[in-house]
Structure 1
Amino acid sequence: MSKVPFRQQASEYDCVPTTFINGLSALFQRKEIPAAVIQKVFLYTLDSFERGTHGQGTTLHATALLADWLERCRLKNFGVKAVHLEGASVNFGPGSLVSKCLNAGGVALLGVTWGKNGHYILALRHDARWVYAFDPYPIAHKNKKHVESLEFDGKQGPNCRILKQWLNVRSDKSNYRLGTIANRDCVLLSRSSDS
Structure 2
Amino acid sequence: MKNLLIYQSTEYDCGPTTLTNAIRYLFDREEIYPDIVKYIMLYCLDSYNEAGEVGKRGTSASAMMFLSNWLTQFGQVKNFPISCNFLAKDEVVLSENSRIVGALQQGGAVLLRVYLEVPHYILLTGISGSDIYVFDPYYEEPDDPELDKEFFEEGITFITDQPKRANRLISITRLSCTGVGFYEMGPYEEREAVILFNTNTRKTPENSIEYII
TM-score under structure 1 length normalisation: 0.92
What is the one-letter code of the residue matched to 2:193?
Answer: C
| Alignment-derived partner of residue 132 in structure 1 | 133
1:78-124 Cα shifts (integer Å, max 9, x gaps): 23111000011111101010000000000011100122x30011101
Q: What letter corresponds to residue 39 of structure 2 in structure 1?
A: K
Counterparts of 1:28-177 in structure 2, within 5 Å, are 28-50=27-49, 51-56=51-56, 57-74=58-75, 75-115=77-117, 117-139=118-140, 140=142, 142-153=151-162, 155-171=163-179, 173-177=180-184
Q: Specify every segment of 5 or more residues in structure 1 that has no aligned partner in the other structure, as ranges.
A: none
**1:42 CA displacement:** 0.6
Match of 1:10 in 2: 9
Distance, in Å, in 1 between the alignment partners of 2:2 and 2:97 is 30
- 2:81 aligned counterpart, secondary structure: strand
The Cα shift of 1:76 comes to 3.8
What's the CA shift for 1:52?
2.0
**2: CA distance, partners of 1:169 / 1:92:** 10
Cα 1:123–1:161 change in 2 (3 A) is same
Q: Which is worse superposed, 29-38 or 185-194?
A: 185-194
Contact residue 8 and residue 139 of structure 2 kept, 8 A: no
Alignment partner for residue 178 of structure 1, among 179, 185, 190?
Answer: 185
SS at match of 2:164: coil
The structure-2 alpha-carbon separation of the partners of 1:53 and 1:192, relative to structure 1 and needing over 3 Å to count, comes to same
Paired residue total: 191
8 Å contact 2:107–2:201 — kept in the other structure?
A: no
CA-based RMSD of the aligned residues comes to 1.7
Structure 2 gaps of 5+ residues are 143-149, 203-213
SS at match of 1:42: helix
Whether 2:194 is the aligned partner of 1:192: answer no
CA change 1:5–1:70 in 2 (3 A) is same
Taking the aligned partners of 1:62 and 1:122, their CA distance within structure 2 comes to 17
SS of residue matched to 1:91:
coil
Q: Share of identical aligned residues, percent?
A: 30
Give me the whole-angstrom Cα distance separating, in 2, the residues matched to 1:41 and 1:90: 22
